[in-house]
Amino acid sequence: MQDFKNKTAVITGAASGIGRALARQCAEEGMKVALADIDEKGMESLSRELTEKGAVVESFVTDVREFSSVEDLVRSSQDAFGDIHLVFNNAGVMLGGYAWERSEDDWRWVFDVNFFGVVNGLRAFVPVLIEQGEEAHVVNTASIGGLMVGPFLSPYIVSKHAVVALTESVYYELQTLEAPVNISALCPGAISTGIVDSERIRPEDRSNKAPLGSPLEREFDHMLTEGVKEGLDPGEVGPMVFAALRENRFWIYTHPMMEESILPRARSIIEGTNPLYTPELTENLLTEE
C-alpha cells in the first residue's frame, strides 16, 4: 500500500503503548483514525491530542474479546468514515508464571484478548475489506514471543504463536483470492509500554489471578518488567510499520536480534535435540540488539 492520505485506519488497543503510537502515525500520514479500546479515558486523551493537531479521529469503546463488540466497531467506523483501509488487530495483555499454576481465568483472559481478539478482528473486518474491492491491509500484532519460546510466560507466548500461525494462514488464503487485501505480522521485541502492567485493565469476569508463588517466577517477572521499561520507545514502531506497509512486507520486526532468538530453536527442532534452557533465552526476548 502506498497511499494512506484520507484513507481510514482502525486500531484496537489504541489507548496505550504501541496502539497509541500507531494512531499517531496514522494521523501523521493524513489518515482518518478509528480508535478502539476498553480504556475510554486513554482514548479520550489521545483523541484530544490528535484532534488538536488537525486529525480526524473517533473513539469507539470496544472489547475485542466479544465478536459483537468488534462487529459494532466495523459498523461505527463505516458510519463515521466510509470504507476501511487499514486494520490493526493490536490489543493485547500479558502475564507470567509456571504454566501449570496459572488459573483458568489467567489462561482464558490472555487467550480471549490476544488470540480471539485477533480472530474476531479477522472475522469482522476481512469480509468487509474483500467486499470493498479496494486496496487494504491488516496488521496483526504478534510478538517476538510468537517466534521463540522461553519459560514463565506460556499463556502469552502460546497465544502469540497462535497469532503468528493464524496470520500466515490468512496470508495464504488471501493469495488464493487474489484480493487487493494484504496482511502482516508485527513481531515486536521489548517496547516500553504498559504491557507489563496488564493487570490494570483485567476485567471483573476474569479476576481470579494466580499469584507468582516462587522466587524464580518473581525474579523473571522483575526482569521482564525492567526489560520492557528499557525497551524501544513506542514512537519508533509507527514509522517501522508504515515502511513495511509500503514494501508490502509480511514480517514486521522492531529489533535486529531475530537470528539469535529463532535459529537455536529452529536448529533444535530440525536436528531433534532437546530444548536447552540458558539465561540468554530470556535475555533474547528482552534485549534490543
Ligand X SMILES: NC(=O)c1ccc[n+]([C@@H]2O[C@H](COP(=O)([O-])OP(=O)(O)OC[C@H]3O[C@@H](n4cnc5c(N)ncnc54)[C@H](O)[C@@H]3O)[C@@H](O)[C@H]2O)c1
Taking contact as CB under 6 A, which single stretch among the options 12-20, 99-107, 212-220, 268-276 is the one that binds ligand X? Answer: 12-20
**Does 38 sit near ligand X (CB under 6 A)?**
yes
CB of 237 to ligand X, least distance (A): 9
Q: Which is nearer to ligand X, 175 or 208 (CB)?
A: 208
CB of 14 to ligand X, least distance (A): 7
**Does 282 sit near ligand X (CB under 6 A)?**
no
The strand ranges marked E within 13-85 are: 32-37, 57-61
Contact 32, 8 (CB under 8 A): yes
Distance separating alpha carbons of residues 201 and 147, to the nearest angstrom: 26
74 burial via Cβ count (<10 Å: 0-12, 13-18, 19+): buried
Q: List the one residue out of 147, 149, 139, 146 whose CA is nearest residue 118.
A: 139
What is the footprint of ligand X within residues 164-203 (CB under 6 A)?
Answer: 188, 190-191, 193-195, 198, 201
CB of 64 to ligand X, least distance (A): 4
What is the footprint of ligand X within residues 231-260 (CB under 6 A)?
Answer: 231
Q: Which is nearer to ligand X, 42 or 96 (CB)?
A: 42
- CA 278, 283, 285, 289 dihedral sign is negative
What is the footprint of ligand X within residues 61-90 (CB under 6 A)?
Answer: 62-65, 90
Taking contact as CB under 6 A, which single stretch among the options 36-44, 75-83, 207-215, 269-277 is the one that binds ligand X? Answer: 36-44
Distance separating alpha carbons of residues 96 and 152, to the nearest angstrom: 5
Half-sphere exposure of 263 (CA within 13 A, CB side): 4
**C-alpha cell read off for 203:** 476485567
H or E segment to which residue 184 belongs: strand 181-187
> Of 98, 156, 172, 277, which residue is the catalytic one?
156
Respond yes or no: is residue 156 known to be catalytic: yes
CB of 24 to ligand X, least distance (A): 13
Contact 231, 288 (CB under 8 A): yes
What is the footprint of ligand X within residues 127-166 (CB under 6 A)?
Answer: 141, 143
H or E segment to which residue 22 belongs: helix 17-28
9, 113, 139, 281: which one binds ligand X (CB under 6 A): 113
**Does 24 sit near ligand X (CB under 6 A)?**
no
Residue 238 carries which side chain, given as an amino acid letter?
G
Q: Which is nearer to ligand X, 185 or 212 (CB)?
A: 185
**Does 42 sit near ligand X (CB under 6 A)?**
yes
**Does 228 sit near ligand X (CB under 6 A)?**
yes
Distance separating alpha carbons of residues 73 and 11, to the nearest angstrom: 10
Instruction: Reduce the DSSP state of residue 106 to 3 states and report it.
Output: helix
**Residue with cell string 513481531:** 187
Geometric angle at alpha carbon 72, from 235 and 38, rounded to 5°:
45
CB of 182 to ligand X, least distance (A): 20
CB of 247 to ligand X, least distance (A): 21
Q: Which is nearer to ligand X, 101 or 199 (CB)?
A: 199
Please tell me the count of residues contacting ligand X according to CB under 6 A.
33
**Alpha-carbon distance values, 21 to 135, 154, 234 (Å):** 23, 27, 6
Binding site for ligand X (CB under 6 A): 12-13, 15-19, 37-39, 42, 62-65, 90-94, 113, 141, 143, 188, 190-191, 193-195, 198, 201, 228, 231
Q: Which residues are catalytic?
A: 156
